[in-house]
Amino acid sequence: MTDADVVIVGAGPAGLMLAAELCLAGVRPLVLERQPHRRDTPKAGGLGGQILELLRYRGLLERFEAACTGPVPAPRFPFGGVHLDFTRLADPPLHALPLPQQPLERLLEERAGEVGVDLRRGHEVTGVSQDDAAVTVDVRGPDGPYQVIARYLVGCDGARSRVRDRAGIGFPGTTYPEVNRLAQVTLPDAVTVLGDGGLDVPGFGTIRPGFTRTDHGLFGIGASPGSQAVSLYTIEDESAEYDDDAPMTVSELQDSIRRVLGVRLPVGEALRLSRFTFKARQADRYRHGRILLAGDAAHLFPATGVALNAGMLDAVNLAWKLAADLHGWAPAGLLDTYHGERHLAGARTMVHTRAQVALRRGHDAAAEALREVFQELLADEQPLRRMGALVAGSDIRYPMPGPGHHPLAGTFAPDLTLHTDQGITGVAELMRPARPILLVLADRPDLCRAAEAWRHRVDIHTAKTDQRPADALLIRPDAHIAWAATVDEPADTAAHALREALTGWFGTP
């Protein structure tokens, strides 16, 4: 028998991120992973969206950037058979880091080890039960079966989550009859990468850059002149079922290209090969008593490039709320806001990924017209930025309790440049310890006095900044703004509102 505060099932990106965030908040989680070693089967090819900003706020982004072996590509992203092209914008709303899932998980595991996470590989969860006080977890480990009694259990165990099934949480949605194959390969000298990114294939001719649609599927190229590697992508409708753990081969890739394009494309060394199907599913609840879900166990999206972003942001949102409950100061209903906020975010991601399904799966003249009109809209900066924020997940505004909130409440805190008595810093640096922050940006001693009773839980900073967005910002550990003081708001009104926000999010002092 083992006791734990939180058991996390699954040592993928969401589980490891959650474990590290819990440790930052003073909780020691136990992570159980049924696989004895990190899997070699390629899955995600990189990180993108709002999670990159969060990693920067934790002081981790440079470490992740240093692990990238290839150059960061130009900001041009596939979207349902067309492209979001941000190359003409000086400040793109969407960024990506080409870091395959294997080194990503290695970095997250290293981070987890540094902060004290207990990770047990080769330990499979075989049963789960709960009552009002605890969760009992049956585990089969290398030395035999045992039980863990925990205050909470979080299922980060993927699409086929046993935790979700044992908790009786529904997972409604759609499975699409698509098989997607993605590869990064070198090409033999006989194949020429053209100046526009297309390919010249001997015996066939030119394959244009971007996406080529045929009666048999979709083929995509991502290539740059002078690059040693190109990205190849196919989508076909197939009825066959594939084992996610069975690796794809170069021959399988070439066969798929031949079926879609009618040409056997010569391929050199395979740097990455992966195969996946698309599902649009979302758990009907992210919490059932003392059992919670995060990552792929909670949602599956029918498009690439968003799952890691969503799953790791789930973890950051959940960690500080679990810790507050375990430390005994969580206000009533705090843990329930995890479902309210992240289910909303998942539904928002589902909207744009399902829209991508509609764009890419149509084969008739009407579908071609839809793609053409959509691409024309993206020639204008405002809709292009809006779509970038939607895909990045940076347009999310969490609902805040009560009326009359500042426009910033519920949004991700901007990284303001701050002038303090100790020098110049930024919001990102202040967020590294993952603690709540009251950032007073105007001469408002009334707000500092109002928050004094919470100083043991909330770090209070005073600073000046150019073009201040509010007199003060109350920032949660997940970097979202819980409350903001309107410029020149009366002192009594602002102090009362601040105390209400502090109590509502961080408990009674």
Locate 300 and state its tokens: 């599956």
In order of 270, 277, 362, 396, the CA distances from 413 in angstroms are 41, 35, 39, 12
Predicted local distance difference test score (pLDDT) of residue 479: 98
Radius of gyration over every alpha carbon of the chain, rounded to an integer in angstroms? 24
Predicted local distance difference test score (pLDDT) of residue 1: 62
Residue 177: enclosing H or E segment and its boundaries? strand 173-185
The mean pLDDT values, 10 residues at a time, for the chain of 509 residues are: 89 97 96 89 80 97 88 82 91 91 92 96 96 96 96 96 96 91 88 83 86 88 71 86 79 93 89 87 97 98 92 98 97 97 98 93 88 94 96 95 89 96 94 97 94 97 94 97 86 91 96
Dihedral sign for Cα atoms in the order 203, 81, 94, 319: negative
Predicted local distance difference test score (pLDDT) of residue 225: 57
Predicted local distance difference test score (pLDDT) of residue 348: 97
- Decide: 170 and 284 in contact? Cβ < 8 Å: yes
Predicted local distance difference test score (pLDDT) of residue 41: 63
Neighbouring-strand partners of residue 281: 173, 300
Predicted local distance difference test score (pLDDT) of residue 389: 97
- Decide: 68 and 98 in contact? Cβ < 8 Å: yes
Alpha helices in 136-188 (DSSP H): 162-167
Predicted local distance difference test score (pLDDT) of residue 42: 59
Residue 494: enclosing H or E segment and its boundaries? helix 491-506
Dist CA 94 CA 98 (whole Å): 13
- Decide: 124 and 91 in contact? Cβ < 8 Å: no
3-state SS of 76-109 is: EEEECCEEEECCCCCCCCCCEECCCHHHHHHHHH
Domains in the chain with CATH codes: 2-75+95-171+283-359 (3.50.50.60), 175-277 (3.30.70.2450), 417-506 (3.40.30.120)
Predicted local distance difference test score (pLDDT) of residue 2: 64
Phi, psi of 52 (to 5 degrees): -65, -40
- Decide: 374 and 30 in contact? Cβ < 8 Å: no
Residue 136 burial (C-beta neighbours within 10 Å; 0-12, 13-18, 19+) = middle
Predicted local distance difference test score (pLDDT) of residue 244: 65
